[in-house]
A and B are shown apart, each in its own frame.
Chain A
Amino acid sequence: MDMAGRISPSLNLETLPRRQGATVHLIEWSRLAAPEARRLRELGFDEGIEVEVLHRASLGRGPIACRIGRMTVALRRAVAAAIHVAPTAA
């Protein structure tokens, strides 16, 4: 991902503001348990795809619902934190 240099390095799916479109630029697969990583791939997560945070279950700790493609996927914050994103211009 050549755009990696131009984005804020701290932004990931956990910290991404709601309704802000973004592109996945790096997934830290090594931070994830093997079955988790596998399921994430099966659900279509990959470098280069577009995501958007739709809902957060509770303030602070609950899971996150995000849009990927035309799907809504729920994932826990620890997993979301391993997915680094770059906001796309509106």
Chain B
Amino acid sequence: MAMLLASDAPLAPPPSRTGTPLVALVGNPNAGKSALFNALTGARQKVGNYPGVTVERHTGRTALPDGRPLDLIDLPGAYSLDPSSPDEAVTRDVVTGAGRFEATPDVLVIVVDAGNLDQHLRFACELIALGRPVVVALNMVDLAERDGLKLDPAALAGGLGVPVVPTVAVRRRGLDDLRAAVAAALDGPPPPARAPEDDRALRARARALAKAAVVSETPTRRWAHAFDSVALHPVWGVALLLAVLFTMFQAVFSWAQAPVDALDAGVAALGDATRTALPPGFLQSFLVEGLLAGVGAVVVFLPQILILFAFILVLEATGYMVRAAFLMDRIMASVGLSGRAFIPLLSSFACAVPGIMATRTIADEKDRLTTILIAPLMTCSARWPVYTLIISAFIPDRRVGPGVGLQGLVMFGLLLVGVAGAYLAALALRRTVTKGHSSGFLVEMPRYQWPRLGDVALGLWTRSLTFLKRAGTTIAATTALLWLLASYPQAPAGQRQSEYSIAGRIASGIEVVVRPIGFNHDIALALLPAMAAREAAVAAIGTVYAVDDPESDAGGQSLAEQVRGRWSLPTALAFLMWFVFAPQCISTIAVTRRETNGWKWPLFMIGYLFTAAYVMAGATYWLAVLAGL
């Protein structure tokens, strides 16, 4: 586990207390803690990392019934106070008041799943024995009732010796009662501390308490089992999964078309307005050809990214994602990975950064490392601007079947090349540098649940902000810099600006290296800013053509048309293949460094992926040339 515990960041001192009480939500995974946290704090929450460890820290604010403010912290899910992962270690340190991360919470809200008391009361008993003020939130009572389980909260409170409040976080039920109970616990005496018990004793007590709290129980979840009979079926389940994935990727392209076009028109209108408002000169060209051409080319992809994230958030919220992991386990096992790796890898289709962070749920170090190393091969949303530009320029928009377009098919093909590359890379890595035992697949399947619109919307809002922030900072800065380097010195008549300028001369140096794989001067120029973020390649091409020919935009020639005029088909295909493999994303490299606690693995990742990119792009180019394309 050593690699999981980053030690570079200094430990921040516990935040100073200004009289606002601190309440921590704590409980087993899948108890609905995060939903409860969202319900209590709404949008007034912050997501960050605990200092020194790569564990997400969610904090927010709510108010007690008497109006007093309350700081709330959502702790990582844990099974016990004996940590088996960095997440669980954080939880233990906060609730036991080790003071490593923050002030000791004044009240613990222990969240338990009403439908799974046998399990969740074990940790609850361990927490109550600490003798700190606690309130138990008996969460998801509606699901338990739907499953035919009727509970008596008063009996449970009597058995545990602490207040118990029934809640349904996703329906906002029981929240006022919970706030009132927290206020009472703040002012009242804590329960008596008990001597720590061993695992078996805790388990036995949990079972007895759960049994005593049940009023009536019918064996149930018939429809859920019936659905699982299909969803987990060796044939139908796989067919369903493929259908879900296909719908997801199809939706990304067809649903997004209208908003993408609208954004495109908006960017163009903004450019025209700037041209009218400002006199021709440095500032006007900088804003229109530099910033707008660059940032605008990226921002228009926001709708596609949001649709993909919406699918992933819904799949996770419904509980289907773990079913998908179940189906994929066998394939994952064949390359020495766990089915669990499927979830971070699927998230990596949106962005490798959250994908790599999601590998924290994989217990085995080698297993996790392999997943991190192959995550950048999943076709992340940053590649779409690149793929879409090239595909729309070179692949005819033809139907090849009902509802299936040739352009979409090529996109799907690129995606499959990435997956196949990841498969082979995992196979090779597990036999060499990350050799070791697999951590297996042993996981609780969450119950099916209808996702709450508000939670999905909140998730999408956070992702949009992150994306726009990136477009506004990293991408804006690289394109602005590129524009400056590409605009000066001014080329004399008869010479191309993109070759005469400083950037052009740097690119000529790179061109020597990439010429053998069919890349031209434009591409060499685009590869540099793409190091910051892949989509900057599109922005860069947009900027380069804008400085070469400032009138082109006004002439109504789209970027795709310009690219078609200047590149050959083999070059375009090689460029696409390059982006399947090339690790061109500063954020991914940074998060890999953080998650593996050093430079060794990010450097390894850069090395093996660039090699693969060079070889595959070269092979594509020469095969295409030989085929006479």
Chain A interface (Cβ < 8 Å from any Cβ of B): 33, 35-36, 38-44, 46, 54-59, 61-63, 65, 69-76, 78-79
Contact = CB atoms under 8 A, between A and B. Distances in A.
A65 B330 contact: no
Contact of B84 (A35, A54, A79): A35
A46 B204 CA distance: 11
Give the size category of B's interface with A: 35 or more
Contact of B116 (A41, A56, A69): A69
B622 interface: no
B234 A65 contact: no
A71 B447 CA distance: 8
B216 interface: no
Given A43-B119, A44-B118, A71-B119, A61 B330 contact: yes
Contacts of B229: 55
B329 A57 contact: yes
B149 interface: yes
Interface in B216-233: 225, 228-229, 232-233
Contacts of A61: 330, 333
18 contacts: A35-B364, A35-B439, A39-B84, A39-B363, A43-B444, A55-B232, A57-B326, A57-B327, A69-B116, A69-B118, A70-B149, A71-B444, A71-B445, A74-B326, A75-B440, A75-B441, A76-B441, A79-B440
Interface string B357-384: 0000001100000000000000000000
Given A62-B234, A65-B232, A36 B119 contact: no
B234 A73 contact: no
Contacts of B363: 35, 39
A43 B118 CA distance: 10
A47 to B, nearest CB: 10
Nearest to B230: A55
Contacts of A71: 116, 119, 444-445
B388 interface: no
Contacts of B440: 33, 36, 75-76, 78-79
B339 A73 contact: no
Those 3 A-B pairs whose CB atoms lie nearest each other, nearest first: A55-B232, A42-B79, A62-B330
A36 B445 contact: no
B437 A33 contact: yes
B84 A65 contact: no
Contacts of B84: 35, 38-39, 42
B442 A40 contact: yes
A24 to B, nearest CB: 14
Nearest to B80: A42
B203 interface: yes
Tell which of A38, A74, A78 has the most Cβ of chain B within 10 Å: A74
A41 B84 CA distance: 13
B442 A65 contact: no
Contacts of A78: 440
B626 interface: no
Contacts of B237: 57
B115 interface: yes
Nearest to A72: B445
Nearest to B330: A62
Given A35-B363, A70-B149, A71-B116, A57 B445 contact: no
Interface string B236-266: 0100000000000000000000000000000
B199 interface: yes
Contacts of B442: 36, 39-40, 43, 73-76, 79
A58 B445 contact: no
A63 B234 contact: no
B440 to A, nearest CB: 5
B277 interface: no
A44 B444 CA distance: 11
Interface string B473-486: 00000000000000
Given A56-B234, A59-B234, A74-B442, A44 B326 contact: no
Nearest to B28: A42
Nearest to A44: B119
B443 interface: yes
Contacts of A65: 228, 232, 326, 445
Given A39-B363, A44-B118, A74 B330 contact: no
A41 B329 contact: no
B119 A69 contact: yes
Contacts of A57: 232, 234, 237, 326-327, 329-330
Contacts of A38: 84
B97 to A, nearest CB: 24
Contacts of A72: 228, 444-445, 447
A33 B229 CA distance: 30
A59 B441 CA distance: 17
Contact of B199 (A35, A41, A54, A73): A41
Contacts of B444: 43, 71-74
B603 to A, nearest CB: 29
B500 to A, nearest CB: 61
B147 interface: yes
A9 B238 CA distance: 34
Nearest to A73: B444
A73 B441 CA distance: 10
Nearest to B445: A72
Contacts of A73: 442-445
